[in-house]
Amino acid sequence: NAGVMQNPRHLVRRRGQEARLRCSPVKGHSHVYWYRQLPEEGLKFMVYLQKENIIDESGMPKERFSAEFPKEGPSILRIQQVVRGDSAAYFCASSRTGGITEAFFGQGTRLTVV
């Protein structure tokens, strides 16, 4: 997966807790995308960020979800007050130029809400 690092790989949270998912893009990549994959479904777009800016968040739920990609450090997807329906695999991808066709996906974080 060409160096996109996501952690943790697995995350278990109780209902009502916060989940923080981290994505370190490939070195030199300044564009990050987050996708969510529910069991036995395809990936669904959530948000596209370019260093310090949210470019497109049309796939993000309006409440409880937020994303950031600070100047220094990894991109963070934060889910507040998690519910069972948030259980899914969350994938991050990064690219150098902003073209999704040139992006590499990470291995994902599997969130389980109990």
Partner 1 sequence: GQQLNQSPQSMFIQEGEDVSMNCTSSSIFNTWLWYKQDPGEGPVLLIALYKAGELTSNGRLTAQFGITRKDSFLNISASIPSDVGIYFCAGQVLGGATNKLIFGTGTLLAVQP
Q: Summarize as ranges the residues that interact with partner 1 (CB under 8 A).
A: 1, 4, 31, 33, 35, 40-45, 48, 55-56, 58-59, 91, 93, 98-101, 105-108
Q: Which is nearer to partner 1, 17 or 104 (CB)?
A: 104
The pair of three-digit structure tokens given for residue 43, joined into one six-digit string = 């990936």
CB of 52 to partner 1, least distance (A): 16
If the CB atoms of residues 27 and 101 are measured against partner 1, the closer one turns out to be 101
Compute the distance between CA of residue 54 and CA of residue 28 in angstroms, rounded to an integer. 18
CB of 70 to partner 1, least distance (A): 19
Q: Determine whether 58 is exposed, middle or buried from the number of CB atoms within 10 Å of its CB (0-12, 13-18, 19+).
A: exposed
Collect all residues with Cβ–Cβ distance below 8 Å to 112 and sequence separation of at least 6. 10, 11, 12, 13, 87
Looking at residue 50, its amino acid is: Q
Cβ 16 to partner 1 shortest distance, Å: 28
In angstroms, the CA 2 to CA 39 distance is: 25
**Least spacing, CB of residue 48 vs partner 1, in Å:** 5
Q: Would you say 18 or 56 has its CB closer to partner 1?
A: 56
Between 1 and 81, CB nearer to partner 1: 1
